[in-house]
Amino acid sequence: MKQRVITGILFTIGIALFIAPGLKWLWVPLILLLFVCLVAVQELLNAVQTGGLKTPRIPVFVGSLTFLAPLILTGLGSTTIMKQDTSSTVAGLALSLFALISIMILNLIVPLLKTGPEGLLATAAGSLIMAYVAFPLVCSVLLLYTVKLGWFWLVLALLTPWASDVSAYFTGSAIGRHRFLPHISPKKTIEGCIGGVGGTVIVLMLYFELVLARMNESRPEAWRNLIFAAVAGIILSLASQLGDWLASAIKRRVGIKDFGRLLPGHGGILDRFDSAFFTMPATLVLALLYWSLF
């Protein structure tokens, strides 16, 4: 437990060192996202190999780097955190998905033409890894560069998994009785799941009221702002928990406890970002909806 706490503190400080400067220099968090991308892909490829599939690595790394496509294809480098450009969001998402899907299809077709159907399962796993890593990171780039106050929304996408996980852990430890998805994660309980949602709702209501509402020139009514925050908290907590469940299912399927050993007591990078990979796309949708309403 001591090692886990120390690693958790150091990990949080490390994340903050890359995220905090993004308030002034939007490119700094991209270094963190690039690191997460490369390490997560490596961990997933190792997991797949442990499960018996040897997936070609280079195409998967190339495909996963399409998360940078919004910057390359639409030139978002000059956007500031106070602006919103929905057209750039749509264009960046469309072009990124086109690039990602094209590489995924090529990754399936080329080996098929070379060796036949024998390697199809391995290449399909590689294509899924591309989508699993690249799509949420595309959404995080679009959050940062095209959404008004995008830096604050990116922080929210990273904050939510922590709020949900901590709330679920303490609620489940205190009153958890009814097991939930025992075939995937035996320690999860229904009470913990509900506690995770409740804790996230509280954190988001505070965040929306103390941060976003105060920086919103239109000054939304408090009750409307809090209702939106509560709904967003439910959605983001469920997205966070879904990401955790999927990662647990993958680990159980291939027979590993953690995706890596980079973070003693916590596992690998993907063990820390599995939930964020689901909250990033959900946060992008909620941010666009928020600014269309308020």
- Residue range 256-270, pLDDT digits in tens: 999 998 888 789 999
**Residue 88 near residue 145, CB atoms below 8 Å:** yes
**pLDDT, averaged across the chain:** 90
CB neighbourhood size of 2 (10 A) = 7
pLDDT of 82 reads 62
Mean pLDDT (whole number) for 26-36: 94
Q: Which of 77-91, 105-119, 161-175 has the highest mean pLDDT?
A: 161-175
Mean pLDDT (whole number) for 119-145: 94
Q: Answer yes or no: is pLDDT of 78 > 60.
A: no
- Residue 191, helix vs strand vs coil: helix
Mean pLDDT (whole number) for 65-87: 75
What distance in Å separates the CA atoms of residue 246 and residue 173, rounded to the nearest whole number? 22
pLDDT band for 156, please (50, 70, 90 cuts): very high
pLDDT band for 291, please (50, 70, 90 cuts): very high
Q: What spatial distance separates the first Cα and last Cα of the chain, rounded to whole Å?
A: 44
What distance in Å separates the CA atoms of residue 32 and residue 15, rounded to the nearest whole number? 8
Helices 120-146 + 276-293 axis angle, to 10? 40
Model pTM score: 0.93
Q: Answer yes or no: is pLDDT of 80 > 70.
A: no
What distance in Å separates the CA atoms of residue 262 and residue 254, rounded to the nearest whole number? 19
pLDDT of 115 reads 76
CB neighbourhood size of 72 (10 A) = 15
Mean pLDDT (whole number) for 63-81: 77
DSSP strand E in 161-273: where? none
